[in-house]
Amino acid sequence: MALKVVVTRRIHTEAVERLRQLFDVVEWESDLPPARAELLDMLNGAAGVLTLLTDRIDGDLLDRVPTLRVVSNLAVGYDNIDVPAATQRGVAVCTTPNVLTRTTAEFTIALLFAVARQIVPGALAARQGDWKTWYPMRFLGRDLLGATIGVVGLGRIGEEVASLAGALGMRVIYTDDRITSQRFQRVALEDLLRESDIVTLHVPLLDSTRGLISDNQLAVMKPDAILLNTARGPVVDTDALLRALERGHLSGVGLDVTDPEPLPADHPLYRFERVTIVPHIASATHATRGKMSALAVENLIAALTGGEPPNCLNPEVLHRG
């Protein structure tokens, strides 16, 4: 009898078909995530699961699904998975890094242009009939050439953003205690916030990074600075950001991720024209999402057939006797 594998959302058909050739596949047929009870019901008897960031995999769930051997997350991040709990129970946890690095970095720069050049307010004005003439003093943005961009987190994506920003003629500084770069200047976080015209966030969501940007950090930033977050929503304290915007601080904010996520349609952040919010789409290209799906499937297949998954966070569990 074939092993049971669960896919918790609709993903690329080709990737699912690869799984069907080897396993008994149960796929959640919705663009919305399964509720906890629905996820547990699907996972009954499953050996593997392909998850998204919206699927919380913790010790309680793993105890309820003792047959589970691998969790393959369709993402670089894994803050939805309790990795120590999985390791303790002999469950492999896999992710999909590298394949979305350039795509996410390009999107970060696109979001920067959208915020810096008032593209979204201008497009809305045109669509809503509020374009009456050529305006010499409306939709004024800022030039990026010569601006200082501060990259918080110089991992794969952060470094790619830094490279693109440098190619556009921006001065690049960064903060990351783990990485020493020969190309860019490392500074302390407070110095980065004080000096930067643009601050862009590229850190994983950890206890140490939750609320990393809050009241004190926002107050240090230049009054006309731009803040970008394409990392994880809780890295920014939403209430603190609201307070800063209400007092006129910051000239622009670009958020691909929010806290909470999704952000309710009546959330006060939407009141601010200088805030651009998009629904977590930094990796959303046909090619990249296809590569992510393929890699997540490859991780699953390898872990369940005695191979070496390309990206496993706790490979030691695969070799336990």
Read off the DSSP letter of residue 270.
Answer: G
Whole-number CA gyration radius for the chain: 21
Place of tokens 């992510």: 292
How many whole angstroms separate alpha carbon 245 and alpha carbon 236?
13
How many whole angstroms separate alpha carbon 67 and alpha carbon 62?
9
319 is catalytic: no
How many whole angstroms separate alpha carbon 6 and alpha carbon 28?
8
Question: Coil, strand, or helix at residue 82?
Answer: coil
249 is catalytic: no
Angstrom CA distances, 275 to 131, 194, 208, 255, 283, stand at 20, 21, 26, 8, 20
Opening angle at CA 19, ends 15 and 22, nearest 5: 150
**Token duo for residue 159:** 């470094």
Q: Which of 195, 232, 289, 298 is catalytic?
A: 232
Q: Are 318 and 71 in contact (CB under 8 A)?
A: no
Question: Coil, strand, or helix at residue 26?
Answer: strand
C-alpha closest to that of 196 among 124, 234, 142? 142
**Token duo for residue 42:** 């699907």
**Token duo for residue 233:** 């929503």
How many whole angstroms separate alpha carbon 42 and alpha carbon 264?
28
Q: Sheet containing 48-51: which strands, arranged edge to edge? A: 24-27, 4-7, 48-51, 70-73, 92-94
Q: Which of 56, 89, 267, 280 is catalytic?
A: 280
286 is catalytic: no
How many whole angstroms separate alpha carbon 156 and alpha carbon 147?
22
**Token duo for residue 87:** 């390791």
Q: Which of 12, 89, 261, 274 is catalytic?
A: 261
Q: Which residues are catalytic?
A: 232, 261, 280
